[in-house]
Structure 1
């Protein structure tokens, strides 16, 4: 109880100090410069991981995905096995430039580069979700088109294909860890065993059953 009381006093003191500060005293230029420094460090970390994992991904692709295309800036190799129904869905954005996220039903399998399966849909079933949210970035990149045209204006989007995935699309891709779970470990909720180690490149097979 004493520790809790002390923590509350400390928090209240901090809030009082912040509230007492004049907004004009905040150094926006210094804050922006610091953010740029942090962004630079993070970009260097991501680029370093992509470069260090590139040989392992290339070896995997040569053995399992002949003919795959590399997006070297992302460290993602992909191959489209079926383009899907062209008119089944159109990706668009709203007036604020935000992508309108579709709801999708998919069958999928995810494996480590050593072939261990860490997740997959059950036989005869599919998974349903809305694009975005908690999905890893590689999945979002896989679904989205390279660009979206609205009212005659073209907006570049970080997507793998020209049209994005549609109903009936089948895609396989292997991604560097920054666009998967990055530094996080993924554990089995039942056994607490590690299913995906930190900094793991991942391989996915996805079939889109429905998109709307």
Structure 2
């Protein structure tokens, strides 16, 4: 039987309290919201992505486009075993990115050489972008006897030098919670992400 990895992804992270910010008397229906966003996302993808691919996650479609593959096998996403449980070794990432609102294509943020810890402090859509379709390596970088299904967008996950564009529904971003004045509630988002460095996260730092 395939072991399950103890990693905060999708179902857990999507429910990380975002919907707890609903005002009294309101009901957040992610499926209904997605149906409203879907034609807007599809139009945006047709206009702004040259060779889009997509992956359906729990009924929500994420579009993506690989601009640069990056250096093959420059980083291995790994798991470690403790007391019979497998846990993802977080990746420390240096990346530049631009984020846009799908509704009007306006830039809400653009940053160079920012540090992230994947999967811990990124939205679910970024987890899908960075992490591979299967986790295949142990903490020493050796192949696992049984790969662990994760469901990332690519086979190896993002590598050093990778450039990816993603378009995500709000459900896999910030749902119905506005992010300051920059990202309104229920916003589908576009990102272009360029990866400069990838290393195993050092908990001692």
- Whether TM-score is above 0.5 comes out as yes
Gaps of 5+ in 2: 1-18, 20-27, 138-143, 200-205
- Alpha-carbon distance in 2 for matches of 1:89, 1:149: 12
- Alpha-carbon distance in 2 for matches of 1:71, 1:54: 14
Which among 65, 69, 75 is matched to residue 83 of structure 1? 69
State whether structure 2 residue 44 is matched by structure 1 residue 54.
no
After TM superposition, list the pairs within 5 Å mapping 1:124-143 onto structure 2.
125-143=112-130
State whether structure 2 residue 106 is matched by structure 1 residue 116.
yes
For this pair of structures, how many residues does the alignment match? Answer: 162
- Alpha-carbon distance in 2 for matches of 1:146, 1:50: 24
- Alpha-carbon distance in 2 for matches of 1:146, 1:49: 27
Corresponding residue of 1:101: 90
- Alpha-carbon distance in 2 for matches of 1:97, 1:75: 28
| Structure (1 or 2) with the greater strand fraction | 2
Cα deviation, residue 54, structure 1? 1.3
Cα deviation, residue 99, structure 1? 1.4
User: How high is the TM-score relative to the length of structure 2?
Assistant: 0.74
Tell whether the 8 Å contact from 1:50 to 1:75 is kept in structure 2 after alignment.
no
Q: Indicate the SS of the match to 1:186.
A: coil
Which among 171, 193, 198 is matched to residue 206 of structure 1? 193
Q: Indicate the SS of the match to 2:73.
A: helix
Tell whether the 8 Å contact from 2:73 to 2:156 is kept in structure 1 after alignment.
no
Corresponding residue of 1:183: 176
| Structure (1 or 2) with the greater helix fraction | 1
Corresponding residue of 1:32: none
Select the structure with the greater relative contact order (CA < 8 A; seq sep ≥ 6): 2
Corresponding residue of 1:63: 47
- Alpha-carbon distance in 2 for matches of 1:105, 1:126: 5
Tell whether the 8 Å contact from 2:116 to 2:122 is kept in structure 1 after alignment.
no
- Alpha-carbon distance in 2 for matches of 1:57, 1:111: 12
- Alpha-carbon distance in 2 for matches of 1:159, 1:48: 25
Rate the CA distance shift 1:51–1:71 in 2: closer, same or farther, 3 A.
Answer: farther
Rate the CA distance shift 1:46–1:158 in 2: closer, same or farther, 3 A.
Answer: farther
- Alpha-carbon distance in 2 for matches of 1:149, 1:102: 15
Cα deviation, residue 211, structure 1? 0.6
Select the structure of larger CA radius of gyration: 1
Cα deviation, residue 111, structure 1? 0.6
- Alpha-carbon distance in 2 for matches of 1:118, 1:199: 15
- Alpha-carbon distance in 1 for matches of 2:30, 2:152: 18
After TM superposition, list the pairs within 5 Å mapping 1:143-162 onto structure 2.
143-150=130-137, 151-162=144-155
